[in-house]
Each structure stands twice: as structure tokens, then as C-alpha cells.
């Protein structure tokens, strides 16, 4: 085969002591967990080769298999061909590390520039970006992405399913959705004050979204602790709380570019989750069309087969073996997917 793509990650190693394979396997496990939480099911490969044995390989394998809807294998290669691939990945990682070390100065410069633009007394080491994704209010979700020292920290990324009933019923309200997400984020902070607080929050949107978020933060008495800005899509304008006009900036400024990278990553992460959620709902809706198959039995089937595609491929006997289904309903399910 040939190399068709590559992607690098920054792994936090606070407890790394000896650098032995057991410790490195744990770090690798966390990197894989973090990465595959952020991708759609079609992007998960059926075969993943790793340099070190993972400490919880079975757990990760089962989770990825369920998410993909197809068997996924994770292993340390023994044969020469795939072992050589690991060596190539290792060299790429060494090259990437050297490149990132060079980028470090540029990221520091970007944070300095951003602090100057926003008149912040200290550098914004932890910046959180938020975005909303939906289609006319349907399957509304939000994303949180985190940049630490100018780089994505994917272990801190999070998805939110919008709970506002008006939004879920098909009425688009980005202001209310964004306010809800920020409220949930800082409600958790109040419960666990040791949770790291952002130096800066960037929300995707204009003055309306910013005003909705500021009201939430004000109500939670956190206005003195948290800096918030919004970045509007159309003209890449930065808005500050209480200001009717955007800041005067230009696209070449490193601080502006940093905010744009954060905004684009938040958008990508939100859209990816929205597509995955919408796809799952559409597949589930096919099961709703089968007479006699209620939500409880749908859950039993999906828990057993992991996906609608596998349910479709199952035989009558395999379907009947699922608890609560039985031969008669199994035949109805089979006939639905295989009309004569």
C-alpha cells in the first residue's frame, strides 16, 4: 500500500516516569481514545497498528467496533511490512516534534499578539472555542474545542446535545443554544472549582450570540473571571462585550489567525458530530417503520448487532436469538429488509 494521509497529535505526559513501553502504551491508548471520539464512524479503519501494547486494548477495540458497526482490530505488528510502517510513522513523529518545537515561538507570538489586541494583562494559555451546528433546528448540537498554548488539546474537546425543547422541535435559535452550552460548561465548573478555567472564550457568531453568553456569565457572577469574545463569520470581525462596533484588526495579525484557527476547528468538530447524530437518527427511523418493533426492542437489537446495517444482514434465526424478539417478530424484521 501507499501513504495517503497523516495526522499528528500532542500527547500530555504528566505522569511519565521511566518511558517504558507500559507507560507509552497508556499514553498511546489515551491518544487513540481522544482522536476517535472526534471522527465520524466512516473514518474509523478496520485495522489499527500500534507501536506498543495498549493497557485496555479490548475495551478500545469493542468501543471502536460498536461505533463503526464493523469489526475493528488493534495490534502490534510482527511481520516485516507492517513493522516497517510503524518505523515510518515513528520517523514522521520525530520530524513533527522538531517542527512543533520551531512553531512554539510562533504560537507564543500569536498569544502575545492576541493579548495585545484584547488588552489582556496575561497571555491566554487556555482558549475555548464554541460553535453550534444544526439544520433548521434539527439535531442541534454544539462543540467545545480547546487550544492550550496555541495548539489543539483534543483531550479537552467536548460535544453537547442541545436540550432546549424549542430548539429541538425544529426552531433555530443559536442565541439560546449558545447560552445553554456556556451555562452547562460553567455549572460544571461551579461543582468542581479545580476544573481548569479558560483564560479566554471565543464563540462563533456576532453581537447577538455574544450578548446571550455574557448574560449567562453575568448571572453566574463570573464576569470578572472569564474573558469572552465573538468572531463573526462574514467579515471575520471580533466583537467585545458592550461594544457595538468590532475591533479594528487585519487578517495578517497572528492573534487574529489564532482565533480563526480556533473557530474553524470548533466548526469542524460541531459539524462532524451533527452529521453523525443525524445519520444515527435516520437509521433508527427505519426501525420505527417495522410493525411491532417498539423502542425497547430496537435498543435490544442495536445492543446486540451494534448497527442497523448488521440487523439488515442478519438471518431470521439470528434475529430470533435476541432477547425479547422471538421467531414471529424476527420474520417481520427480516421481511422488512428483504421484500420479495
What are the grid coordinates assigned to 212, written together? 446571550
Q: Which residue has the cell 511481520?
A: 79
Distance CA 280, CA 40 (A): 11
Q: What is the pLDDT along the chain (340 residues), one digit of tens a residue?
A: 556 666 766 666 655 555 677 888 888 898 898 888 888 888 999 999 999 999 888 999 999 999 999 999 999 998 888 888 888 888 888 888 887 777 778 889 999 999 999 999 999 999 999 998 865 555 678 889 999 999 999 899 988 888 876 655 444 578 888 999 999 999 877 676 656 889 999 999 889 999 999 999 999 998 888 899 999 877 889 999 999 899 999 888 999 999 999 999 998 888 877 677 666 666 656 788 888 888 888 889 988 888 788 898 899 999 999 988 999 999 999 988 887 5
Helices then strands, counting H and E runs in the chain, come out as 11, 9
246 in the Ramachandran plot: left (φ > 0), alpha (ψ -120 to 50) or beta?
beta
Phi, psi of 136 (to 5 degrees): 50, 40
Predicted local distance difference test score (pLDDT) of residue 16: 59
Residues 176 and 212 sit within 8 Å (Cβ to Cβ): yes
Domain 289-337 maps to which CATH number in 2.40.110.10, 3.30.420.40, 1.10.150.20, 3.10.20.600? 1.10.150.20
- For the chain, residues classed under CATH 1.10.150.20 are 289-337
Q: What's CA 133's distance to the chain center, in Å? A: 13
Question: Per this entry, what is the length of the chain?
Answer: 340
E strand intervals along 149-198: 151-152, 158-161
**Which pLDDT value is given to residue 216?**
94
Q: Does domain 121-274 have CATH number 3.40.50.300?
A: no
Q: What is the pLDDT of residue 122?
A: 93
What is d(CA 9, CA 96) in angstroms, rounded to the nearest whole number? 9
Question: Which residues are CB-contacts of 323 (< 8 A; sequence separation ≥ 6)?
Answer: 300
Cβ neighbours around 209 below 10 Å, total: 24
How do 138-148 and 151-152 pair as beta strands? Answer: antiparallel
- Where are the domain boundaries for CATH 3.30.420.340 in the chain? 121-274
- Residue whose cell numbers read 463503526: 68
Amino acid at each position: 500500500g501507499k501513504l495517503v494521509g497523516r495526522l499528528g497529535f500532542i500527547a500530555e505526559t504528566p505522569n511519565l516516569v521511566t518511558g517504558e513501553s507500559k507507560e507509552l502504551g497508556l499514553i498511546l491508548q489515551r491518544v487513540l481514545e481522544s482522536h476517535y471520539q472526534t471522527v465520524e464512524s466512516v473514518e474509523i479503519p478496520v485495522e489499527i497498528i500500534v507501536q506498543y501494547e495498549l493497557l485496555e486494548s479490548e475495551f478500545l477495540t469493542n468501543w471502536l467496533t460498536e461505533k463503526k458497526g464493523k469489526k475493528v482490530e488493534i495490534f502490534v505488528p510482527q511481520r516485516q511490512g507492517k513493522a516497517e510502517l510503524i518505523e515510518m510513522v515513528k520517523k514522521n513523529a520525530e520530524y513533527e516534534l522538531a517542527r512543533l518545537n520551531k512553531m512554539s515561538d510562533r504560537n507564543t507570538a500569536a498569544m502575545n499578539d492576541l493579548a495585545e489586541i484584547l488588552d489582556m494583562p496575561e497571555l491566554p494559555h487556555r482558549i475555548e472555542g464554541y460553535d453550534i451546528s444544526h439544520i433548521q433546528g434539527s439535531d442541534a448540537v454544539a462543540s467545545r474545542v480547546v487550544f492550550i498554548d496555541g495548539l489543539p488539546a483534543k483531550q479537552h474537546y467536548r460535544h453537547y446535545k442541545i436540550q432546549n425543547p424549542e430548539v429541538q422541535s425544529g426552531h433555530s435559535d443559536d442565541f439560546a443554544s449558545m447560552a445553554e452550552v456556556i451555562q452547562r460548561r460553567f455549572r460544571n465548573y461551579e461543582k468542581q472549582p479545580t476544573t481548569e478555567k479558560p483564560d479566554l472564550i471565543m464563540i462563533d457568531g456576532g453581537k447577538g450570540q455574544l450578548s446571550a453568553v455574557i448574560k449567562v456569565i453575568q448571572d453566574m457572577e463570573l464576569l470578572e473571571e472569564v474573558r469572552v469574545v465573538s468572531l463573526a463569520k462574514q467579515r471575520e470581525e471580533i466583537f467585545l462585550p458592550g461594544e457595538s462596533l468590532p475591533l479594528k484588526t487585519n487578517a495578517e495579525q497572528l492573534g487574529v489567525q489564532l482565533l480563526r484557527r480556533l473557530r474553524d476547528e470548533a466548526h469542524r468538530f460541531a459539524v462532524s458530530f451533527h452529521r453523525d447524530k443525524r445519520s444515527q437518527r435516520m437509521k433508527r427511523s427505519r426501525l420505527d417503520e417495522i410493525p411491532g418493533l417498539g423502542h425497547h426492542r430496537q435498543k435490544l437489537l442495536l445492543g446486540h448487532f451494534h448497527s442497523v446495517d448488521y440487523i439488515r444482514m442478519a438471518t431470521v434465526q439470528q434475529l430470533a436469538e435476541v432477547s425479547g424478539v422471538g421467531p414471529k417478530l424476527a420474520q417481520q424484521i427480516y421481511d422488512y429488509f428483504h421484500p420479495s
